[in-house]
Structure 1
Amino acid sequence: MTTFWLILAVMMVIALACVIAPLWHGPDSRANPRTMAVAIYRSGMAELEQECSSGLMPAEHRARTQRELERRLVDEARDPSSPTASRWAGNVMRPVVAALLVALLPAGALVLYMRIGDPVAVAIESMDGAQNVQHMDSQGSLEYVVSRLAMRLREQPNDAAAWAMLARSYVVLERVEDAVAAYRRALALTHADPELLADYADALATLRGGDLNGEALQSIQAALALDPVNVKALALAGSAALDRRDYRQAMQYWEQLKAAGDPEIAAQAQRNIETAGALMATARDGQAR
C-alpha cells in the first residue's frame, strides 16, 4: 500500500509541476502584445524612412505617417486592456493561482479518488501474506476494509476477484462460514482458477472439522486437473489420502509436492512421506498378524 501512495504522490508532483511552471514564470515575453506594438512601430518607421529616401513618398506625407504610427503606439500604451495595464495584475495573480493549485489540487484528487476509486481493493491487495493481514486486524482496520468491500459487492456482485479477496479476508478474521459463502460466489463467476479451488477446499474442510472428503475433495481434484503442480492442492490431496488411510496415494502426492515446492515445503513433504511410510508399514504388520 505504501508503494501505491508513493507512486500517487510522484504523479501528483509531476502534474502540479506541469501546471504551475507556466503560471509561475508567466508568458513568453516574445509573445507580449506591447513588445509586438513597439516592433510594429519600428518596422513602420523603417519602411517610412526607406520610402522617403527612395522618393516614393512626398516629404509632406512623411510627418503625417509618422504621427499616425506614434498615435497607434500611444493608444496601445493607454489602452486598459493592453499588457501595460494587465501585466502587473498578471504578475500578482499567477503566484496566487499557483499557490491555490498546490493547496487544492491534491486534496481534490484525493476526495475524488475516495468517492469513485477503489481504496478497499488497494488496501487488501497490499496485504503481503497472513502476517500483514493480522497486523492490520490488530489495528482494528481490517474489519472496516472488509465491511467496505462487502458493501461494494452489493452494488457490483459480478466482481470475481473482489469475492475472492473478501473470502480470504474472512478466513483471516476466522469467519469461516462467511469465507465459504464468498468462495462459492467467486467460483460461480470464475471456474478455471486452481488456487481459488484449493482455497475453497481448505476453507470448507475447516468449516467441517477438517474433513477433506466430499465436496472439498472434488474441489481439490478440480484444482489439480487445471494445475497438476499446484502446491496447496497437492498438500490437501495428500492429507485427504492420509485421512482415508490410502498411504501410497498420499506419498505420491507428497512426492509431487516435494518436487514442485521450495526447500521448506520440500522438507515438510519429506517428513509427511516418512510418516505415511511408517503408518503403511504398521498397517501391513497388523494385517500380517
Structure 2
Amino acid sequence: MVLWILIAVLTLSVLTLAFWPAFSRSSNIGATENRVADFEHDIAVYKDQLEELDAEEKRGAISQDDAAQARIEIARRLLAAEEKRDSGKTSTRLSQRRVFGTRILAAVAFVFIPGLSLLMYTSLGSPTIGAQPLAARLQAIKEAETASSEQDKQLVQLVARAESHLKENPQDGKGWDVLAPVYFRLGQGPKSADAYRNAIRLLGENAQRLSGLGEVLSAMAGGVVTVDADALFKRAVALEPSNGRALYYLGLGNAQAGREDTAARQWNAIVNNETIDGSWRVAAAQSMARLARENTLALPGPDEQAIKDAEQMSEEDRQAMIAGMVEQLDSRLQENAGTVEEWQRLIRARMVLGQESEAVAALERATSAFASDPQKQAQIHTFAEKIGLKVKQ
C-alpha cells in the first residue's frame, strides 16, 4: 500500500510541475515578446558573422574549406533563429486563445495519465514477462544511429528551411552561396550547380564560387574535367593564384588529356606551396604518386621544406603526403642516377616513414649508382650515419 501511495504522489507531483503554467493567471505574452527580440538580435549577429567570414576569407586568414564549414554552421544557426523568431511571433498572437484549451487538456491529463498508466501496468507489467535482451536493444540503437546521423538531419533541415526562404527571396545571393556547397555535400549536383550560378549572377565571380561550380560540373561528368569546368578553374586561378581546388583540377584535366608531365609539374607546385590548403596538397601528392606508378614519369621529388611542412599536418594527411612524394622520387631515381642530394632526400624520407629496410636498399642503390665516384659514395655514407642508418662496410 505504501508503494502505491508513493507512486500516486510522484505522479501527481510530476503532472503538477508539467502543467503548472497552464493554471497560472499571469500572461506570458511579455516574456514571449522579449524572446522574439532576443532572436532578432541573434539573427543580426549571425549576419554580421557571415560578412566577417567573407572578409577573413578574402584576406587569406582562413582556408576555403574551413570557411565553407563555418559558413554552413553559421547559416544553420541563422535559419534556426529565424524559425524560432517566427514561432515566437505566432505564439504571442495565439497565446490568449490557447489558455482555455490548455487548461482543459491539463485537467484531463490529471485523470487520464494515471488511469492509463495503471491499466498498462496491470496488463503488461507482469514480472512473468521476460525482458527484451540487452544485446538486441543495443543493436537496435546502433542501427538507428548508423541510419541517420545528427549532422545529416541538421543539413536536411537547413536545406528545407533555406529552400523555403529562397523561394520567397530568389534574389538573396548569400543564401544561394551558402546552399550551393551543402547541395554538393548531399550529392545533389544539379541543384548545387544552379545554386552556384545564382550566387555568381547575384554576387559576382570569386575564386571560391568559380572553382566550386567547376568541381560540381566535373563530378556530374563522372570525374572528368570538362571544357566548361576547365574554363571556370582558369578564371578562378586568375582571381586567386593560390586557389588549391582550381589548381588541382587543372592538373587533373591535363592528366586526363594525356599531358602527364604538365600535370605532374602543376601538382608538384601545389605540394611545395605552403599557402595552399593542406587537403589539396595531400591530394596533389597522392595523384603524383599514382602517375609515377602508372607511367614511370620523371617527376620532381620532395625537398626538406616539403617534408617539414608535412610534419605540421594531421598524422593521416602527413603520412599520405610524404608517402606520395617518396614514391614518385623513388620511381624517378630508378630511371637515372640522380644527384647526391636526391638520394639523401630519399633515404631521409624512408627513415621518417619508419621504413629502415627500404632506406638501406636506397643506400645500396645509391652506392651502386656512384660506383665510379668514391667521393660521392662517401658523402652518402656519411649522411646515412648521421641520421642513424647503419652502413655496411
TM-score (norm 1): 0.51
- Give the structure 2 partner of residue 109 of structure 1: 37
Match of 1:209 in 2: 222
Deviations 1:222-254, CA, capped at 9 Å, x for gaps:
111111110111111111111111112211221
Per-residue CA distance 1:123-150 (angstroms, 9 max, x = gap): 983529xxxxx95543x23222212212
Q: Which residue of 2 aligns with 1:252?
A: 265
Indicate the SS of the match to 2:73: coil
For structure 2, list consecutive stretches of 5 or more residues without a partner in the other structure: 1-26, 51-68, 75-147, 299-393
2:165 is aligned, of 152, 157, 171, to: 152
Q: Which amino acid aligns with 1:269?
A: A
Q: Name segments (4+ residues, structure 1) moved above 6 Å.
A: 99-102, 116-124
**Among 62, 65, 71, which residue is 1:125 paired with?**
71
Take 2:295 and 2:36, find their aligned partners in 1: how far apart are those partners?
67
Superposed, which structure 2 residues align to 1:45-84 within 5 Å? none
2:22 paired residue number: none
State the alpha-carbon separation in 1 of the partners of residues 268 and 258 from structure 2: 17
The one of 281, 285, 293 aligned to 1:270: 285
Q: Which amino acid aligns with 1:211?
A: V
Q: Distance in 2 between matches of 1:237 and 1:188?
A: 24
CA contact (8 A) 1:251 1:277 kept: no
Q: Which amino acid aligns with 1:125?
A: R
* Rg comparison, structure with higher value: 1
Letter in 1 for 2:164: M
Highest RCO, 1 vs 2 (Cα 8 Å, sep ≥ 6): 1
1:234–1:256 Cα contact (<8 Å) kept = no
- TM-superposed CA distance for 1:271, in Å, is 3.3
Contact 1:254 1:270 in 2 (8 A): yes
* 1:242 and 2:170 correspond: no
Cα pair 2:245 2:280 within 8 Å, conserved = no
Once the two structures are superposed, residues 199-220 of structure 1 have per-residue CA deviations (whole angstroms, 9 ceiling, x without a partner) of 1111111112112121111111
| 2:194 equivalent in structure 1 | 181
How far apart are the structure 1 equivalents of 2:167 and 2:219?
26
Identity between Structure 1 and Structure 2 (%): 21
Q: Distance in 2 between matches of 1:118 and 1:153?
A: 20
**Structure 1 gap ranges (5+):** 1-98, 129-133, 284-289
The CA distance in 1 between the partners of 2:162 and 2:207, in whole Å, is 23
